């Protein structure tokens, strides 16, 4: 068994953790918008499009809250399904190594 084959399941688990973290971060941003809608949200500008808090240096406007919540729900669900599949692939790879 090659070294790449042995490392692949662990890389898949790492990617699943990263995707899960991104989904959780987007969900936390949506929750943060509920408590501080002036500073946290979904921002769009000529050189920026992002979730999160806005500092005064970037010129962007906030998209409507309904857009933020719809995009957040879709992104969290997508992250969940992608992470679940990656964990499944990693478990199968680890099972083959045993």
- Tell me the pLDDT tens digit for each residue of 6-63: 899 999 999 999 999 999 999 999 999 989 888 888 888 888 788 888 877 778 888 8
Q: What gap in Å lies between CA 76 and CA 23, rounded to an integer?
A: 5
User: What are the angstrom distances between the C-alpha of 83 and each of 13, 66, 77, 95?
Assistant: 8, 26, 10, 18
Tokens 């679940």 belong to residue: 84
Picking from 4, 9, 1, the residue whose alpha carbon sits closest to that of residue 93 is 9
What confidence score (pLDDT) does residue 5 get? 81
Q: How confident is the model at residue 2 (pLDDT cuts 50, 70, 90)?
A: confident
Give just the sign of the alpha carbon dihedral 65, 66, 72, 73: positive
Structural domain containing residue 38:
3-97
Tokens 């918008």 belong to residue: 33
Q: What's the total number of domains in the chain?
A: 1
């Amino acid at each position: 068994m090659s070294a790449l084959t042995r490392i692949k399941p662990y890389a898949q688990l790492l990617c699943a953790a990263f995707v899960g973290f991104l989904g959780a971060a987007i969900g936390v941003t949506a929750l943060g918008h509920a408590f501080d809608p002036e500073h946290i949200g979904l921002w769009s500008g000529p050189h920026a499009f992002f979730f999160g808090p806005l500092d005064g240096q970037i010129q962007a406007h906030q998209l409507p809250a309904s857009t933020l919540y719809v995009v957040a729900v879709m992104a969290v669900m997508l992250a969940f399904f992608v992470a679940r599949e990656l964990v499944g692939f990693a478990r199968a790879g680890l099972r083959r190594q045993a």
